Chains A and B, each alone.
Chain A
Amino acid sequence: MKRSLPLAIALVMGLLMIGTYYFPWMDGFYRLVLLWSPVIAGFAFFLGILSFLMHHIFKVRRKVPGWGYNLTAILSFAVMLLVGLLPEIYPRLFGFLGDQQADPDASVFKWLFGNVLVPMEATMFALLAFYIASASFRAFRARNLEATLLLAAAILIMIGRVPLGEWIFPPFTDIQQWIMEFPNTAAKRAIMIGVGLGMAATALKLMLGIERAWIGRGD
């Protein structure tokens, strides 16, 4: 029962959702399911937050190496929760800063979000440039024929994509565009066709309960 019920739900819901794709009179059901998903996500978020807190509190209590990071995570969570929640309950709490609900500039929550979280995320994203440089250095070492071809294609693409390349030799622009439009697109499409078929086959196996790792492989 523990396994057959989820499998039956997966099969019925799968068939119904396929039906919504083909039959207009099932559109209402589709909209209903879309309404359900945020409700389920809400419960899951609660479990997620619980797991987050347990994980970090456990590490702080045991004082595992690097527990300061865990403490920072707990404190950040608590601060964001408080500045987000308290003004809703006590609108006058940060009243000296302005109207917390109506004025985005006065909201402490939004200020912390925009001036702490967003720059930190941008910093992480910016690191990508350096990671790409180190990864390219490793990838473009001409160790064998394939790697040499990759290196040659990369050089042509890079030169063709900067104004200097066109200045040195004008056909570089056309060559790089040809590589991107033909061999590159052909390879990408081949992968994408395989991915599409694989997706459909996996979905079918999940619906029929043949692929059941997601509920445990046991019988």
Chain B
Amino acid sequence: MSRYLPALFLVLLLAGSATAQGAPAPPQEVTVEDYGYDWGGTTLQVEWRGSPAEQEEGFTGYRIYRGDTAEGPWEAIADVAPKPALFLDTEAGTEARFYRISALLNGQESDGIVTSGSALATPNRFKTGRFNSVIFVFLFTSLILGWIWTAGRKIPGGFLLGYIGYGAVFTGVLLFTDLTPIWDSGASVLLAFIPLLIPFIALLIPLFKSRGDIYVRPIPAIQAVEEAIGRATEMGKPILFVPGISTIEDVATLAALNILSPVAEKAAQYDSKLIVPNYDPIVFTVTQEVVKEAYLKAGRPDAYSDDNVFYLSARQFAYAAAVNGMMVREKPATNFFLGMFYAESLLLAETGNMTGAIQIAGTDAVTQLPFFIVACDYTLIGEELYAAGAYMGGDPKLTGGLKGQDWNKALGIICILVLTGWFVFYGVFTDPAGWSNWIRELPSTLFEVGK
């Protein structure tokens, strides 16, 4: 028995150390403020910096207490997970509230409980955290709308008035918001934009006046559409159009439908069979209408058949299997894969490649683009998918929209360069030693990523 005593002692020691772990350290810096996104005005947002005990095994989260005064009494209102270190108290009411937070480790609460200051929930007319995006929306839409409405014609008289009115509406919306929280939140520099909104619009007008015809960079994939449809006609084989496997809310799906319309019109003119299998039932009803309208516009309503635009399945791989089967059996001469795709992209594109079809693909799913680029003859990369509709439609307003989009991109590039330059010089002037160290260490930083 005696030889087992040391082992027994060790086991008891380990067990003792496990139970005598003690209470966890409390979280730090508990803050509370009005939640800036509610109209009811009864929600407070509590945030804290995590306890060091979060790394330990058995850490379950935090217990939130609410009180009417800094001394209590305290009411436990919720146990929350460690992340995110944020809690929304939707039942804070309209009185000032205090909060205490304790950490929970193996069912034990932290000793030192940290208490927040007080805060009062107030109703918000505007979601204050989204103030920045109003400014962005204004800049963005000003450029796009300006180019759209002045495209292909002289600037109409009412345009100037309407355009300045647009700036006034935005200014009004911003003034309607309660600006105090924005002023307090450190985003106050953005408030300077408000008086600049209308002058900004006035500055843009000469831009629209001075341009000539709108040039749109040729996109090889779009230029190949007619050739691809012609090829199918010559070979007497069908055209397959896959509008992606997303829903109608997805802009990529809508962009695909914008391309489907002219493709269907061309197919009708050339008397080629167009097959459109659908994944989503709502998209199916829309594609059916789009193709029907296109055949009508081409003067061939008799050539349209409901049997060629149909619903298949809302299961990703069942859909892919069915479309692959169609490609193998019917051997379409031309395949279009346009819209949003996921893992089935390569299954579809590679099967089409094996059947020898000419393939035109386009998606804004960055992860699927390499597959399409590899397996298809032409690929619309990202925003080219959205531009294709404008390119094929030939409407000056649509091409004007493209121009506005490009101007926005140019502005974005300028902002990135200016801000990068500003940060570099700010760093050089405010912390020359740190900056020179950073430059000296740059090579090792670049080649020691992730260490």
Contact = CB atoms under 8 A, between A and B. Distances in A.
Interface of A: 18, 21-25, 27, 40-41, 44-45, 47-49, 51-52, 54-55, 58, 65-66, 69, 117, 120-121, 124-125, 127-128, 131-132, 134-136, 138-139, 171, 174, 177-178, 181-182, 188, 191-195, 197-206, 208, 210-211, 213-218
Interface string B230-255: 00000000000000000000010011
Nearest to A56: B310
Contact of A47 (B281, B296, B316, B383): B281
Q: Among A121, A192, A199, which residue has the most Cβ atoms of chain B within 10 A? A: A199
A178 B297 contact: no
Given A48-B284, A51-B311, 8 more contacts: A23-B39, A24-B123, A52-B313, A132-B346, A191-B382, A210-B398, A217-B262, A217-B297
Interface in B370-419: 370-371, 373-375, 381-383, 385-387, 389-390, 393, 395, 397-398, 401-402, 404-405, 408-409, 412
A23 B404 CA distance: 27
Contacts of A182: 446, 449
A195 B127 CA distance: 26
Contact of B257 (A174, A198, A213): A213
A160 B386 CA distance: 36
B148 A131 contact: no
Interface of B is mostly: helix
A198 B306 contact: no
A194 B382 contact: yes
Contact of A201 (B137, B144, B374, B381): B144
A131 B281 contact: no
A25 B37 CA distance: 9
A127 B310 CA distance: 26
Contact of A205 (B148, B282, B371): B148
B281 A44 contact: yes
Interface string B418-451: 0000000000000000000000000000111111
B127 A199 contact: no
Contacts of A211: 258, 389-390, 393, 398, 401
7 contacts: A22-B130, A51-B311, A131-B350, A182-B446, A198-B405, A213-B257, A214-B290
Interface of A is mostly: helix
A195 B384 CA distance: 8
B121 interface: no
Contacts of B375: 135, 138
A139 B375 CA distance: 8
B366 interface: yes
A202 B254 contact: yes
A25 B40 CA distance: 8
Nearest to A50: B311
A134 to B, nearest CB: 6
Contacts of A174: 447-451
Nearest to A136: B374
A63 to B, nearest CB: 14
B448 A214 contact: no
Nearest to B451: A174
Given A24-B38, A66-B329, A198-B383, A210 B293 contact: no
Contacts of A218: 293, 296-297
B261 interface: yes
B293 A177 contact: no
Contacts of B374: 135-136, 138-139
Q: Among A45, A48, A174, which residue has the most Cβ atoms of chain B within 10 A? A: A48
Contact of A203 (B251, B282, B364, B451): B251
Contact of B450 (A131, A177, A198): A177
B140 A200 contact: yes
Nearest to A55: B310
Contacts of A202: 251, 254-255, 386, 389
Given A23-B126, A131-B346, A191 B381 contact: yes
A214 B408 CA distance: 25
Contacts of A200: 140
Interface string B255-293: 101111110010000000000001001101110111001
A121 B316 contact: yes
B171 interface: no
A124 B257 contact: no
Contacts of A194: 382-383, 409
B386 A177 contact: no
B401 A216 contact: no
Given A132-B346, A202-B386, A213-B260, A124 B397 contact: no
B361 interface: no
Q: Among B145, B405, B451, which residue has the most Cβ atoms of chain A within 10 A? A: B405
Contact of B449 (A25, A48, A181, A214): A181
Contact of A22 (B123, B134, B389): B134
B380 to A, nearest CB: 11
A216 B261 contact: yes
